[in-house]
């Protein structure tokens, strides 16, 4: 489908169900939320903490802000099982260290992995792994963690993997350009020309990649396993994400944005709502299964998803030999 600006504005004023209408008991469940020290991730973790998880790991880039978030959530919810573990999702070494720690201390299985950590930006910068930081964080690092955590997710009875995308994927300029081999390297080349590769389009592209990757991953999960994987959109929310945005976007945010608490309800819904049992490969928005962009559901979108899958596995396998091993043993 398309998302006209008028529909986007109408959606911003929709009533979003309160967590108590779909919340559940997380006794015995192990949950990870990335980027949980502020914004949508923090509010999501706070809701999940109130559901009595066996362990709730806030996976945060900076230990100090993560520890403070964990302490605040403990105080506000009474949940004593909240911990903060350091994770820079854009750094392959940090992802590996996080997974190794989970192997030692996680308790063997993972019930919910909510990948929320993300960045935007308006200039070309590289991260610690040498990738352009928006695509490197929002897609490559996110895919890396998802794949590395698959063996633990597959040990849980009804595991869910949720990747935070966005409605901005509907507005990606020249989305058809995503249907190319070597897309990740092309996005990492500052000299690429055209709207698709422009810095203004970069965040939108990264969120399109989230939607395509989730659909591709879901298609590789063998029948008979109960793992579901979906992408989710919180709508426009007032957070620190757009701190470098131009004044027009800042003004639009002031007028239209939801609070991060309201936005987080959609993440919690994707992570626990019973009505989503067995739902996989979908894009969720306003707590509803929603058709993604016309490009995503087109033949070129399907082709882009397959190429992205192959490209992502190839680049991750170059830095982490566990990735191809996990793909061979856990996926079809």
Least Cβ distance, residue 113 to ligand NAP (angstroms): 14
CB of 32 to ligand NAP, least distance (A): 12
- The percent helix, strand, coil of the chain (3-state, each to 5) is 50, 10, 35
The one catalytic residue in 94, 129, 166, 293 is 166
Concerning whether 207 is annotated as a catalytic residue, the answer is yes
User: Does the active-site annotation cover 166?
Assistant: yes
Q: How many CA atoms lie within 13 A of 42 on its CB side?
A: 18
Q: Give min distance, CB of 260 to ligand NAP, in A.
A: 6
CA distances from 295 to 7, 134, 168, 177, 325 (A): 18, 21, 13, 10, 32
Query: CA–CA separation, 281 vs 278, rounded Å?
Result: 10
Q: Which of 29, 129, 203, 206 is catalytic?
A: 203
- Positions that interact with ligand NAP (CB under 6 A): 34-35, 37-41, 61-62, 65, 87-90, 116-119, 137, 164, 166, 233-234, 236-237, 239-241, 260
Task: Spot the catalytic one: 94, 129, 207, 231.
Answer: 207
Extended strands (E) in 41-178: 55-60, 82-86, 112-115, 160-164
Distances in Å between the alpha carbon of 232 and those of 12, 167, 269, 277? 15, 9, 9, 15
Residue 123 gets the label, from left (phi > 0), alpha (psi -120 to 50) or beta, of beta
Separation CA 138–CA 119 (nearest Å): 7
Q: For residue 145, which of 184, 185, 110, 178 has the smallest C-alpha distance?
A: 110
Q: Give catalytic residues, as residue numbers.
A: 166, 203, 207
């Amino acid at each position: 489908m398309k998302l006209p600006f008028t529909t986007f504005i109408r959606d911003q004023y929709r009533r979003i169900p309160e967590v108590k209408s779909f919340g559940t008991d997380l006794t015995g469940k192990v949950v990870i939320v990335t980027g949980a020290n502020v914004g949508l991730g923090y509010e999501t973790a706070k809701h999940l903490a109130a559901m009595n998880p066996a362990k709730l790991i806030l996976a945060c880039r900076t230990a100090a802000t993560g520890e403070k978030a964990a302490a605040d959530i403990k105080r506000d919810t009474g949940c004593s099982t909240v911990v903060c573990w350091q994770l820079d999702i854009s750094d392959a070494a940090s992802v590996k260290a996080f997974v190794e720690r989970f192997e030692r201390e996680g308790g063997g299985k993972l019930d919910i992995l909510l990948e929320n950590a993300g960045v935007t930006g308006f200039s070309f910068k590289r991260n610690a792994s040498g990738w352009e930081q928006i695509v490197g964080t929002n897609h490559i690092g996110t895919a890396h963690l998802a794949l590395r955590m698959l063996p633990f997710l597959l040990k849980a009875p009804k595991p869910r993997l949720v990747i935070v995308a966005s409605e901005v994927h509907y507005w990606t300029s020249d989305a058809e350009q995503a249907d190319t081999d070597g897309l990740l390297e092309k996005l990492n080349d500052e000299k690429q020309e055209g709207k698709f590769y422009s810095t203004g389009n970069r965040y939108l592209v990264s969120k399109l990649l989230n939607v395509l990757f989730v659909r591709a991953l879901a298609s590789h999960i063998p029948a008979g396993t109960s793992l579901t994987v979906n992408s989710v959109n919180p709508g426009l929310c007032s957070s620190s994400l757009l701190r470098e945005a131009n004044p027009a976007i800042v003004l639009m945010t002031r007028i239209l944005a939801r609070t991060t608490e309201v936005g987080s309800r959609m993440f919690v819904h994707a992570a626990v709502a019973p009505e989503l049992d067995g739902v996989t490969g979908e894009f969720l928005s306003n707590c509803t299964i929603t058709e993604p962009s016309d490009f995503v559901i087109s033949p070129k979108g399907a082709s882009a998803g397959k190429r992205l899958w192959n490209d992502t596995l190839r680049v991750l396998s170059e830095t982490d030999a566990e990735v191809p091993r996990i793909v061979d043993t856990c996926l079809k």
